[in-house]
Amino acid sequence: MGKNHEEVQLIGTWVSPFVFRARVALNLKSVSYEFLEEKVGAKSDLLLKSNPVHKKIPVLIHHGKPICESLVIVQYIDEVFDGVKILPEDPYDRAIHRFWAAFLDDKFFPALKTIRMVQGEEVQKKLVEIKEGLALLDEALVKLSKGKPFFGGDQLGYLDIALSGFVAWIQVREKTYDVKLIDESIIPNLAAWVDSLRAHPAVKDIIPTADGLIEWVRVNLGPPPAPAAN
Amino acid sequence: MASIKEEEVKLIGNLPSMASRKVEIALQLKGIKYEFLEEHDLKHNKSPELLKYNPVHKKVPVLIHSGRPIAESLVILEYIDETWTQEPALLPSDPYERASARFWSKFIDDKCYPAVRKYLTLGSETEVESARAEAQEGLQFLENELKGKKYFGGETIGMVDVVAVGVAFWQQTLEEIMQMEPANSCQDFPLLCAWADELLGCSVISDNLPSKDKFSSLIQSRLQFAAAASAASK
C-alpha cells in the first residue's frame, strides 16, 4: 500500500475556511481520509486532546499523531505525501507564497470575519479594507502566476490553497452586504482565478455554497450582535 | 559567477525590535554576511527603502537578498534555512518535527509575545494579574514542550529557540532589573529557566540582545507611557 493510503483523519467542519485548506491539500494528493465532523458548541474529547493549546480545528491526525494549524497542516501534507508539489521549488517563491498566506490570516481574514460585528460607517471601512486586500492579491496573482491560472502556475499551489477557504465566505459577505467584492471589472485576474478554482477537481465537490453558509450562520450563530447602546 | 547564496544580503531592522533580533541571530548562526540598515524612527519617519521593500506592512524586519525583499520574520527564518543549508539547520528534517517547530514558532509569536508584552505595559493592578495569568498559561505549554530537551530544537538551537529568544531574555532581565516578578519565574518554570541560561550563554544570542540598561530604560518608558495613557483616559 502506498503512502497516500495510510490512516489519516481530519477533525473539522464543512464551514471552516481553515479546515477547507486541509481538505483541498489532501484531495490534491489523492489522500483518503476520515473526516471527523465537530458539532457546533461542543468540542469533542478527541479535539481537546489533540489540540490542547488552541482547542481549534482543523487537526490532522496521521499515524495517531496530531498536527495543528491549517498552514502547518498543508505544509506537512506536502512534505509527507506523494503527488503534485504544493509549495514551489524555489526558496524565494516559497517565501512569497508564505508571505501572502500570512497576510491572509493576519489581515485579510480578520476584516472579512469581523465585519459582522460592526454597524454603519464601520461596515464601509471594513468593506474598503477587504477590497484593498483583494486588489493586493490580484496584483500578487499576476506576478506569481506568470500568465497561468493559479498562484502556483498550472496547478494549485500553497497560496491558492490558503485563499481557497475564503472564497465562499467572500461570496457570503457579497450577498449579505449587497456588494460586489470579486469584481471582474476591478480585479479581473482574481475573478478568473475564482472560476478556475471552483472548477478544479480538488475543490469543486467540497466547496460550500454561499447560501449554505448563510443558512448555517442563521441556524448556529443567530443574528449579528445588536449595535452597542449609546 | 558568484552563486546566488553569496550575493548581497541586507537586513532592514530596528534595534528594539525582537523580530529584527531573531533574524540577525539566524543570519549569524549560519555565518551569513549581511549589511544592517537601521530604521531609526519607525513611528514618524520610515525610510524610503522600508516603504519600497515592504509596501504592504511597512514593518521591520525585511531581508533583501540580491535585491529581492522578504518580509515577516517567520517567513524570513524559513527562507534563510532553505537558502543557506549549512549547519545549524533551523528546522529539523523529519516532517512531523518540522510541523511541530512551525506550530510552536507561530504560538510564541502570536500568543506568548503579545501576552508577555501586555503584562509588561499594563498599569492597573487587576489588569496586570489577569495579563500575568494569560502569559503564564502560554509559558506552561512551552515548559511542557522542553521536557527532556536542552533546546526546543533538541540538542542544538533551532528555529523555535530563535523565535523564543525574547522569552528567555525577559525571564533573565525582568526580575533582576525591574524588581518585577516575571511571568516566568524559575520557581514556576524550571525548564524554561535552564533553557534561558543555555540560550543566553551562547554569544551569538547574547551579542544580539539589547544591554540590560537599554532594555530597562525601554521598559520604563513604556510603563510610563501606559500609566500616562491610563490616567488620561480616566
Instruction: Please tell me which of the candidates B75, B103, B141 has its beta carbon nearest to residue A99.
Output: B75
Q: Does A102 touch chain B (CB under 8 A)?
A: yes
Instruction: State whether B99 and A92 contact (CB < 8 Å).
Output: no
Distance CA B37, CA A67 (A): 38
Instruction: State whether A98 and B102 contact (CB < 8 Å).
Output: no
Neighbours of B175 (CB within 10 A): 15
DSSP category for residue A14: S
- Report the helix count and the strand count for chain A, using DSSP H and E: 9, 4
Residue A151: all three cell numbers together: 498562484
Distance CA A70, CA A32 (A): 18
| pLDDT tens figures, A119-163 | 999 999 999 999 999 999 999 999 999 999 999 999 999 999 999
Tell me how far CA of residue A153 lies from CA of A93, A142, A149, A207, A215, in angstroms.
Answer: 11, 10, 6, 21, 35
Q: Does A75 touch chain B (CB under 8 A)?
A: yes
Comparing CA positions, the residue from B166, B42, B77 lying closest to residue B115 is B166
Residue B223 has pLDDT above 80, yes or no: no
Instruction: State whether B96 and A65 contact (CB < 8 Å).
Output: yes
Chain B residues touching residue A76 (CB < 8 angstroms) = 95-96, 98-99
Comparing CA positions, the residue from A68, A58, A50 lying closest to residue A20 is A58
Comparing CA positions, the residue from B23, B35, B26 lying closest to residue B67 is B35
Instruction: Please tell me which of the candidates A53, A72, A92 has its beta carbon nearest to residue B99.
Output: A72
CA distance B115 to chain A (A): 14
Check if the beta carbon of residue B89 is closer than 8 Å to that of residue B158: yes
Comparing CA positions, the residue from A71, A97, A61 lying closest to residue A165 is A71
pLDDT band, very low/low/confident/very high, at B1 (cuts 50, 70, 90): very low
Report the interhelical angle of B73-83 vs A91-103 (nearest 10°): 170
Chain B residues touching residue A96 (CB < 8 angstroms) = 70
Residue of B72, B73, B105 best to disrupt the A interface, most CBs of A under 10 A: B72
Residue of B65, B76, B79 best to disrupt the A interface, most CBs of A under 10 A: B79
Per-residue pLDDT, A104? 98
Q: Does A76 touch chain B (CB under 8 A)?
A: yes
| pLDDT tens figures, B74-112 | 999 999 999 999 999 999 999 999 999 999 999 999 988
pLDDT average, residue stretch A7-30: 97
Residue of A51, A62, A76, A103 best to disrupt the B interface, most CBs of B under 10 A: A76
Distance CA B220, CA A120 (A): 40
Instruction: State whether A103 and B68 contact (CB < 8 Å).
Output: no
- Report the helix count and the strand count for chain B, using DSSP H and E: 11, 4
Question: In chain B, which residue's Cα lies nearest the Cα of A136?
Answer: B56
Per-residue pLDDT, B187? 83
Chain B residues touching residue A62 (CB < 8 angstroms) = 96
| Between B169 and A109, the higher pLDDT residue | A109
Per-residue pLDDT, B43? 86
Check if the beta carbon of residue A103 is closer than 8 Å to that of residue A94: no
Check if the beta carbon of residue B73 is closer than 8 Å to that of residue B19: yes
| pLDDT tens figures, B122-160 | 656 677 778 888 888 888 999 999 999 999 999 999 999
| pLDDT tens figures, B29-77 | 999 999 999 998 888 899 999 999 999 999 999 999 999 999 999 999 9
Per-residue pLDDT, A185? 97
DSSP category for residue B30: T
Tell me how far CA of residue A113 lies from CA of A93, A102, A109, A129, in angstroms.
Answer: 28, 16, 6, 12
Instruction: State whether A92 and B102 contact (CB < 8 Å).
Output: no
Chain A to chain B Cβ contacts (< 8 Å): 57
Q: What is the ipTM of this complex?
A: 0.94
Distance CA B67, CA B88 (A): 25
Chain A residues touching residue B107 (CB < 8 angstroms) = 53
Per-residue pLDDT, B18? 87
pTM above 0.90, yes or no: yes
Q: Does B55 touch chain A (CB under 8 A)?
A: no
Tell me how far CA of residue A50 lies from CA of A65, B42, B142, in angstroms.
Answer: 8, 41, 16
Instruction: State whether A68 and B103 contact (CB < 8 Å).
Output: yes
Check if the beta carbon of residue B191 is closer than 8 Å to that of residue B151: no
Tell me how far CA of residue A185 lies from CA of A135, A138, A142, A180, B188, in angstroms.
Answer: 12, 12, 15, 10, 59
Per-residue pLDDT, A57? 97
CA distance B193 to chain A (A): 21
Residue A228 has pLDDT above 60, yes or no: no
Distance CA A38, CA A58 (A): 10
Residue of A98, A103, A104, A138 best to disrupt the B interface, most CBs of B under 10 A: A98
Q: Does B140 touch chain A (CB under 8 A)?
A: no
Q: Does A8 touch chain B (CB under 8 A)?
A: no
| pLDDT tens figures, B160-201 | 999 999 888 876 776 555 555 555 578 888 999 899 999 999
CA distance A211 to chain B (A): 33
CB within 8 Å of B234: residues ≥ 6 apart: none
Give the residue carrying C-alpha cell 521598559.
B219
Check if the beta carbon of residue A226 is closer than 8 Å to that of residue A185: no
3-state SS, residue B68: strand
| Between B116 and A212, the higher pLDDT residue | A212
| Strand bridging mode B35-38 / A65-68 | unpaired
